[in-house]
Amino acid sequence: MANKNKEKGKYLEEYVATKFKKEFNLDTRDVHRAQASGVFTTEYGDIYFRKHAVIIECKNQQDVQTQRLFPELSKTIFNFYKQLEKDVQKFKNKYPDQKVLYFLVATNTSNRLPRYVIVDKQSFKEFIQNDIIDKKLLDSNISYISTKYINKIFLVFILDDFIKYINLEILEY
C-alpha cells in the first residue's frame, strides 16, 4: 500500500501542474510533477517546467491549518518556505540573469482548505516590478502574515486567483 502522505502530496502536485496546463495551454512535456521533487539538476521544486522559470513547492499536510497560517506563519510552514528558497538559489546559481517566479502552495485537503499560495512580500514586489505578476492581482483577496522566525512579511492568495495573473511568457528561457 502506498504511503498516504506521499499520495496526498502527489495529488496536490498533480493538481497544480494541471492548473498550469489548462490556464496556459501547456502539455505534459511542458509542465508536470517533478520525478524527484527537485533532486535532479534540471528540477527545481515539486513541479517541473521545461522552458519556464517557475519554482513551486507543494505541501498537502495536516499541519497546514488556517490557525497555523493566520495571524502568524507556523514554524513548519516557514520551514517549507525555506526549502523553496534553497531551490530558488540553486536555480539562480545556474541561471543568474533569468527572472524567476517562485511560491509555496500549501493546503490540507482532509480539512477541505483552499490551496493557498504563500510568497514573501519583498519577492512579490519584485514580481510586480518585473511584470511577472500583473498588479491587478492586488485587487483580489489577499492576506498579510508575519513570522517571528525572521523579519519577513508573507502574502497569502488563493491559487485559483493567483495563477490568472502570471505572465508566463516573460519567464521563458
Residue with grid cell 520525478, as numbered in its chain: 35
Q: Which amino acid is at 172?
A: E
- Amino acid letter, residue 91: F
Secondary structure, 3-state, the chain: CCCHHHHHHHHHHHHHHHHHHHHHCCCCCCEEECCCCCCCCCCCECEEECCECEEEEEEECCCCCHHHHCCECCHHHHHHHHHHHHHHHHHHHHCCCCCCEEEEEEECHHHCCCCEEEEEHHHHHHHHHCCCECHHHHHCCCEEEECCCCCCEEEEEEHHHHHCCECHHHHEC
- pTM over 0.85, yes/no: yes
pLDDT tens digits, 129-169: 999 999 999 888 777 776 666 677 888 898 999 999 999 99
Sheet holding 143-146, edge to edge: 54-60, 101-107, 116-120, 153-158, 143-146
Residues of the chain under the 70 pLDDT cut: 1-6, 8-9, 36-42, 62-73, 109, 111-112, 146-150
Q: What is the pLDDT of residue 1?
A: 44
Q: What was the pLDDT predicted at 89? A: 95
Asked whether the beta carbons of 33 and 10 are under 8 A apart, the reply is yes
Which residue type, as a one-letter code, is found at position 40? F
Q: Tally Cβ neighbours within 10 Å of residue 4.
A: 9
